[in-house]
Amino acid sequence: MAASQPNVLPPLIGDSQGRYKIRVLGNSGAGKSTVSHQLASILDIPLLSLDELYWQPGWKPMPNNEFRDKIMSFMEKNASRGWVVDGDYVRMGGAVVHEHATDVIWLDPPLLLYFPRLVYRTFLRLIGLESSCSVGCSESIREVFFSKSSILWWCLSQHRVVIDRNSAQMKIWGLEVGSRPPKERKMRRLGGWGSEVTDWLQSVWKMVKGP
């Protein structure tokens, strides 16, 4: 008798109507924006960047209630198409995305890989060769290197925090390891030095476009 084949999970779960509502998580610089844009392009669905939504000109934060309401409005407006939401913002109201997502993608590359990328991106923003995370939120040398609100310091200080928080979520919602019933599991971790994310995106492409 031939050995039974293990169940192979699809790259995205989606809902019963074939719609994909995707939440992309990870620390600052982990690649969320890049992956989110690629997913939105492959699936032809709208994308919401929580950075762009939350930060108003002059680094003024949007009030949490308004932030949450705008997220809900985006998800409701695009419920029939599906969507991608890029970002965490758990304490500010971003956690509501998890409730409506069919798939939660946690990007967890090594710090040695993504911190240099963040430094490079920040340098490009400082000299005006890359746009800021939100309109009217430019970065200065003082803020980047001599401030407690520095994106570089935030990345370093949050690396372990993000891992611990999302590891705890994986124990509940992880596709293969979660404690929830199988039909409710929706979270996957993509780590490694880049090939795991690349291979996964190629699998998404093949799933949607065909071989």
Strand spans (E) along the chain: 21-25, 47-49, 55-56, 60-61, 83-86, 103-107, 187-190
Which sequence spans correspond to the domains of the chain? 21-209
pLDDT confidence bin for 202, thresholds 50/70/90: very high
Stretch 44-70: mean pLDDT: 97
Q: What is the pLDDT of residue 7?
A: 64
Residue 6 has pLDDT above 60, yes or no: no
pLDDT confidence bin for 5, thresholds 50/70/90: very low
Q: What is the pLDDT of residue 170?
A: 98
Higher pLDDT residue, 4 or 148?
A: 148
pLDDT confidence bin for 145, thresholds 50/70/90: confident
Q: What is the pLDDT of residue 4?
A: 44
Q: Which two tokens stand for residue 178?
A: 């979660």
Stretch 44-49: mean pLDDT: 98
Stretch 57-78: mean pLDDT: 97
pLDDT in tens, 97-136: 999 999 999 999 999 999 999 999 999 999 988 999 998 8
Residue 3 has pLDDT above 80, yes or no: no
Lowest mean pLDDT among 149-153, 167-171, 196-200: 149-153
Which of 184, 41, 25 is closest to 102 using CA atoms?
Answer: 184
Strand partners, 113: none
Q: What is the pLDDT of residue 210?
A: 81
Give 86's contacts (C-beta < 8 A, 6+ positions apart).
24, 32, 33, 36, 47, 48, 49, 50, 51
Which of 110, 106, 85, 83 is closest to 200 using CA atoms?
Answer: 106
Q: What is the pLDDT of residue 207?
A: 95
Higher pLDDT residue, 7 or 187?
A: 187
Its pTM stands at 0.93
Q: What is the rounded average pLDDT for all residues in the chain?
A: 94
Q: Pairing between strand 47-49 and 103-107?
A: unpaired
DSSP 92: I
Q: Are 72 and 79 in contact (CB under 8 A)?
A: no
Q: Which amino acid is at 211?
A: P
Q: Which CATH superfamily is domain 21-209 in?
A: P-loop containing nucleotide triphosphate hydrolases (3.40.50.300)
